[in-house]
Structure 1
């Protein structure tokens, strides 16, 4: 009798688990014709406006902000290809470092990187490398390899060809939607890109393990696939810098991080982070982006602007508040 009750209880739990997983799947994805998977936004209305008109205005404000570039960029569409046809991608900016907090905190700093990316012209695909804030993942490196992502500004298609070639090329990379379930650090970048164009694809990658060896393997794979497929890419390292330290400490620690990135030496950056125990969430994506950029011809990092959340909200009641650091910069 007890055994039968246990079996019934186990069956009930299994059934409820299945229903819960189905609910989560429906919450995250809309499936049309059982072929097209669309990831719905999870932080619209939280990190950025969930109304398209208000979102566009907030993006414009980020660009015009005193800590932003001061004006809106124009998408470069004037580059001539060797065959005489117009192309919209200079290819000068191989990678960028961009923060991923709410727009009210890091949006103007992020706008500095996006100003340069837009003026540079859009590639075929933006590779967006992110840390894992949720702790959910099936493996070390999780690729969203199917369908599209939705924001209030519309859908952005996944570069499925690039994604699947990367998965086939590297055994450390796998198709894993769970890691992207409630992860914000890719999603927040999309409206900045969508404001200027819909003619690009993305490849969202979550790095749950950020060891330098793993990031080097990832960078080798991405650079190799880009060359094999002749896909023009720009890589976005999605990261904030020091987290929840007094502003004076954040400034000092983040200056060391910026020096580490500017050295174009992955080991030097890693040494700084480990030596001073700096809470930079996306150090792995930054290391990988640096490495990919060098493999694709970049020779230096240009720091565009830096500020903290304390600078953004101008908290005059606390002379040394705990803040988060934000950096924008490009690899060229």
Structure 2
């Protein structure tokens, strides 16, 4: 079985096990995080989440809001969808016969499910190369490892993030999630490298249709405002899948920018934590 070694350990998050555990703990306890460590006591039915994927010092606390929300009921499978920043490999790619390694250990890819979803739609191809350097999925896994010990993943990376593609991916994911206890994780940051106030305006406008599960309006605002959210297709796929599964709304747990965290508000990146219920 192939081992997918970490691409961004020591950069986006600490490369040493104990330092990484401490970083995750600090993210959960941060003032922009949930302020406590999982598991939560909330039994709310959550179909999927949106998480950021920057360095833990910037977006870790925001990501922990979503992870804390789902920590009372850990599924057997996490389908993690994110943008392919490097543009390598297939336009939409999953993988199989692989374990993803982080400083906290290894997590196995659910090969049977990856194979199944690639047959439900020919849009999703089996291609490990597409995942070789990508951080948007990798940075989610240590958080999951700290919360759970027995789960598998199906990673899906997107070069093609058009609306029709995202809708088909979302519907395919929903078919899987109807058969197996699954949590869908859409990985995206929001506005990139704009002044703080402008980023807040742009992102809160884009988040509005996300909370309403309105994919058409989401893409309209994305284009009208030219919002530089990198994983917009991952967000849309997650919205579609959750709506197919019975979600009626999204809930914004926390929005903040890198500037809100560091104090440098001249050029920021936006981060949102959203759950679908």
Alignment pair present for 1:43 and 2:8: yes
Q: What is the RMSD of the two structures over their aligned residues, measured on CA atoms? A: 1.4
Q: Is the 8 A contact 1:156 1:198 kept in 2?
A: no
SS at match of 1:199: coil
Indicate which of 41, 53, 56 corresponds to 2:18: 53
Higher relative contact order (CA 8 A, sep 6+): 2
Aligned equivalents of 2:194, 2:12: Cα separation in 1: 21
8 Å Cα contact 1:91/1:123 also seen in 2: no
Calculate the TM-score normalised by the size of structure 1. 0.81
Unaligned segments of structure 1, at least 5 residues: 1-35, 79-89
Contact residue 44 and residue 151 of structure 1 kept, 8 A:
yes
Counterpart of 2:82 in structure 1 is 130
Equivalent in the alignment of 1:3:
none
Alignment pair present for 1:236 and 2:185 = yes
> 3-state DSSP class of the match of 1:142?
strand
- Supply the distance in 1 between the matched residues of 2:55 and 2:28 (Cα, whole angstroms): 15
Structure whose CA Rg is larger: 1
- Would you say how many aligned residue pairs link Structure 1 and Structure 2? 277
8 Å contact 2:192–2:270 — kept in the other structure? yes
Q: Report the Cα offset of residue 140 of structure 1.
A: 2.0
1 CA distance for matches of 2:273 and 2:172?
25
Deviation of 1:124 (Å): 1.3
**Which sections of structure 2, spanning at least 5 residues, go unmatched?**
none
Q: State the Cα distance separating 1:251 from its structure 2 match.
A: 0.8
Partner residue of 1:268 out of 213, 217, 220: 217
Structure 1: 4+ residue segments shifted above 3 A: none
The answer to whether 1:325 aligns with 2:264 is no
Kindly report which structure 2 residues correspond to 1:242-253, keeping only aligned pairs within 5 A, or say none.
Answer: 242-253=191-202
Given that 1:239 and 1:283 are in contact with CA atoms closer than 8 Å, whether structure 2 keeps it comes out as yes
What's 1:258 paired with?
A: 207
Do residues 167 (structure 1) and 123 (structure 2) align? no
* Residue equivalent to 2:68: 115
